[in-house]
Amino acid sequence: MINQFEVIETNKMIEEENLDVRTITMGISLLDCTCADLDACCQKIHDKIYSSAKDLVSTGEYIAREFGVPIVNKRISVTPIALVGGACCHSAEDFVRIAKTLDSVAKEVGVNFLGGYSALVSKGMTAADELLIRSIPQALSSTERVCSSVNLGSTRTGINMDAVKLMGEVILETAERTKDADSLGCAKLVVFCNAPDDNPFMAGAFHGVTEADRIINVGVSGPGVVKTALEKVRGENFEVLCETIKKTAFQVTRVGQLVAREASKLLGVPFGIVDLSLAPTPAIGDSVADILCEIGLEHAGAPGTTAALALLNDQVKKGGVMASSYVGGLSGAFIPVSEDQGMIDAVNAGALTLEKLEAMTCVCSVGLDMIAIPGDTKASTISGIIADEMAIGMVNAKTTAVRLIPVIGKGVGENVEFGGLLGHAPIMPVNPFSCEAFVSRGGRIPAPIHSFKN
Amino acid sequence: MDKIIITVVGKDTVGIIAKVCTYLSENNINILDISQTIVSGFFNMMMIADMSSAKIGFGELCEAMDALGEKIGVSVKCQKEEIFEMMHRI
């Protein structure tokens, strides 16, 4: 039988160390909503999402009450809209109509974000893909809860450099259109290499075409729990350090597995995966950077950071894998800047640069995330940063992503405030040298030699 | 068995357990185990109970315990047992 110490330990994690389930995300296929008529397509999309997810929020709240653990977000991911709208959208404005439909149904069912305003263009763009990408600035500036993502490359296909070039321009235009809100639109837009089909986290969640009609994916969190556990093993060797991370990751993931199973049962929707991510928030004590400091660094970004992060990422996976029957999504440590107070402090202290963050993305689960850069950064420079990050993903057969926010009207040294879970960030300097000629070549970078595993 | 864990944390006062137990017995919730400690004046109690023949639902119990806790000035928390089983047992 459960004893009092175990109960106290669990409740301490929840109450003092910010243990929570970060998101229950319902993936919904919209492939059966395709239709040649735009009005009919929007209606079908609305009806499918509404009927599938109308009980999502109340179920999430019920489960949170049952187990006494907070479930922070309830969200929806849908089939990439470039595929759904291909038959009925003949202009960027047509795609924006679908974005507005998604936004209104997201409000209706009460979810805070809906992901899947996406295109998968790792090898080439269809006419619909390109229209959707060109509609992103308008879509994100005229909606509140819609998130957009574009997959620009993969280990199997190489990198679509035409799309990389286009995305540099689209990110800048999105920033321009949302400049009154510190270019907030860019916080809802992410580009990927090797995007997973079952990621429950925003802004990159979409419901892949390989998925079932509907699915429940759960993203766990818990950097504070790992940090507190590591405080007890200060000065111990790497074996003890790694064992402690693994054990803690196991416990955190078990909560995710329990919530996923319960949500799946109550909603009558199959369980997909648990995403074993350490996802920070701007709250004090909920930081991945603080874990790196606890491992032994003065600040995130100091020499040793990449090794510490590699170790952390690997142990989180090793502990988490055994705790859940299916794992997937992004799974690992997230290193966003604006959403992590320890990262923000490291930037302000001069310890963490964009280049060091790039190195860190080689060993963590995602990429350059929530980084504010000067608003006068050139589109080609943004494309160059994206290309570098896509190359890391492609060659290392891992997911990488870029979510940069060029803050229009602001420069290095100034701060931006996004609010809520998106946090605040100091604007970081970008390498000023040009990559215009590289980005403008056109075409695609071929897949690496180790992709031919036939 | 439909096991739940009730935890009470707060300043020690007379009759905390009595009040919780009375409510549980009135609603046919069977207590399986109780343990308690007092750490520097703070009362820490854990109770394992079975709700399988309870007259009320879990939501209603939570609300009643919240209200009771507020009345006596302690925090009363009800949780399904699975979360602890999942975290502490393989």
Q: Are residues A232 and A363 in the same domain?
A: yes
Cα separation, A402 vs A197, whole angstroms: 17
User: DSSP letters along A231-259, please?
Assistant: HTTTT--HHHHHHHHHHHHHHHHHHHHHH
B60 touches A: beta carbon within 8 Å: no
* A interface test, pick of B33, B86, B89, B90 with most A CB neighbours within 10 Å: B86
A146: containing domain: 20-193
Q: Which burial class, exposed, middle or buried, applies to B57 when counting CB atoms under 10 A from its CB (0-12, 13-18, 19+)?
A: exposed
Q: Look at residue A222 in the predicted model and tell me its pLDDT.
A: 86
- Flag whether A241 is in a domain: yes
What's the domain count of chain A? 2
Task: Name residues whose C-beta falls within 8 Å of residue A220's C-beta, 6 or more positions apart in sequence.
Answer: A21, A22, A252, A253, A255, A256, A274, A275, A276, A277, A279, A320
Q: How many CB atoms lie within 10 A of CB B30?
A: 14
- Residue with tokens 């107070």, as numbered in its chain: A341
End position of a domain, from candidates A174, A193, A212: A193
Asked if the Cβ–Cβ distance from A62 to B59 is below 8 Å, we say yes
Whole-angstrom Cα distance, residue A278 to residue B2? 32
Instruction: Tell me: pLDDT of B40 over 80.
Output: no
Q: What is the pLDDT along chain A (454 residues), one digit of tens a residue?
A: 788 888 988 998 998 888 999 999 999 999 999 999 999 999 999 999 999 999 999 999 999 999 999 999 999 999 999 999 999 999 999 999 999 999 999 999 999 999 999 999 999 999 999 999 999 999 999 999 999 999 999 999 999 999 999 999 999 999 999 999 999 999 999 999 999 999 999 999 999 999 999 999 999 888 999 999 999 999 999 999 999 999 999 999 999 999 999 999 999 999 999 998 898 988 888 999 999 999 999 999 999 999 999 999 999 999 999 999 999 988 888 999 999 999 999 999 999 999 999 999 999 978 999 999 999 999 999 999 999 999 999 999 999 999 999 999 999 989 999 888 788 999 999 999 999 999 999 999 999 999 988 8
Beta bridge partners of A216: A26, A271
* pLDDT of the residue at A22: 93
B1 reaches A (C-beta below 8 A)? no
Looking at the DSSP assignment, which residues form a beta bridge with residue A120? A151
For residue A448, is it within any domain? no
In a shared domain, residues A231 and A184: no
Q: What is the CATH number of the domain that holds A47?
A: 3.20.70.20
Distance CA A146, CA A45 (A): 14
Residue A35 lies inside a defined structural domain of this protein:
yes
List, in order of start, the domains of chain B with CATH numbers: 3-88 (3.30.70.260)
| pLDDT, average across residues B45-64 | 93
For A257, name the nearest residue in chain B, comparing CA atoms only.
Answer: B86
DSSP A32: G
Please state the ipTM of this predicted complex: 0.89
Do A241 and A387 belong together in one domain?
A: yes
The residue whose two tokens read 């709700």 is B51
In a domain, A316, yes or no: yes
One domain for residues A179 and A52: yes
> Could you say which of A6, A11, A258 has the minimum Cβ distance to residue B82?
A258
Determine the average pLDDT of the residues in B34-49: 86
Q: Are residues A180 and A254 located together in one domain of the fold?
A: no
Report whether A389 contacts A182 (CB < 8 A). Answer: no
Reported residue count of chain B is: 90
Task: Provide the number of CB pairs (under 8 Å) joining chain A to chain B.
Answer: 58
- Rounded to the nearest angstrom, the minimum Cα separation between B90 and chain A is 8
Q: Looking at the structure, do residues A181 and A242 belong to the same domain, yes or no?
A: no
Beta strand extents in A314-440 (DSSP E only): 332-333, 368-374, 400-407, 415-417, 424-426
Chain B residues closer than 8 Å to A2 by CB:
5, 48, 81, 84-85, 88
Instruction: Tell me whether B77 touches chain A (CB under 8 Å).
Output: yes
Other CB atoms closer than 10 Å to residue A186's CB: what's the count? 31
Q: Is residue A408 part of a domain?
A: yes
Which residue, of A178, A193, A208, is where some domain finishes? Answer: A193
A424 and A360 housed in the same domain:
yes
Q: Give yes or no: residues A181 and A139 share one domain.
A: yes
Q: Is residue A214 assigned to a domain?
A: no
Quote the pLDDT of residue B12. Answer: 81
- Judging contacts by C-beta atoms under 8 Å, the chain A residues touching residue B86 are 254-255, 257-258
SS in 3 state form for chain A? CCCHHHHHHHHHHHHHCCCCEEEEEEEECCHHHCCCCHHHHHHHHHHHHHHHHCCHHHHHHHHHHHHCCCEEEEEEEECCHHHHCCCCCCCHHHHHHHHHHHHHHHHHHCCCCEEEEEEECCCCCCHHHHHHHHHHHHHHHCCCCEEEEEEEEECCCEEEHHHHHHHHHHHHHHHHHCHHHCCHHHHHEEEEECCCCCCCCCCCCCCCCCCCCEEEEEEECCHHHHHHHHHCCCCCCHHHHHHHHHHHHHHHHHHHHHHHHHHHHHHCCCEEEEECEECCCCCCCCCHHHHHHHHCCCCCCCCCHHHHHHHHHHHHHHHHHCCCCCECCCCEECCCCCCCHHHHHHHHCCCCCHHHHHHHHCCCCCCEEEEEEECCCCHHHHHHHHHHHHHHHHHHCCCEEEEEEEECCCCCCCEEECCHHHCEEECCCCCCCCCHHHHCCCCEECCCHHHCCC
Q: Note whether A227 and A180 are same-domain residues.
A: no
Instruction: Note the Cα A401 to chain centre separation in Å.
Output: 8
Q: Over 80: is that where the pLDDT of B39 sits?
A: no
User: Rounded mean pLDDT of chain B?
Assistant: 90
Q: Are residues A131 and A237 in the same domain?
A: no
Two tokens, residue A337 = 């800047």
If you count DSSP H runs as helices and E runs as strands, how many of each does chain A have, helices first? 15, 15
Q: Which residues in chain B (38-57) have CB-CB distances under 8 A to chain A?
A: 44, 46, 48
Same structural domain, A151 and A247: no
Question: A157 and A303 share a domain?
Answer: no
Query: Is position A205 within any domain?
Result: no
Mutate to test the interface with B, among A5, A66, A246, A322 (most CBs of B within 10 A): A66
Residue A58 covered by a domain: yes
Q: Do the beta carbons of residue A402 and residue A385 sit within 8 Å?
A: yes
Nearest to A128 by CA among A169, A80, A173, A165: A80
Interface mutation vs chain A, best among B83, B84, B85, most A CBs within 10 Å: B83
Structural contact between residues A385 and A404, judged by C-beta atoms closer than 8 angstroms? yes
Residue B7: which of A11, A257, A258 has the nearest Cβ?
A11
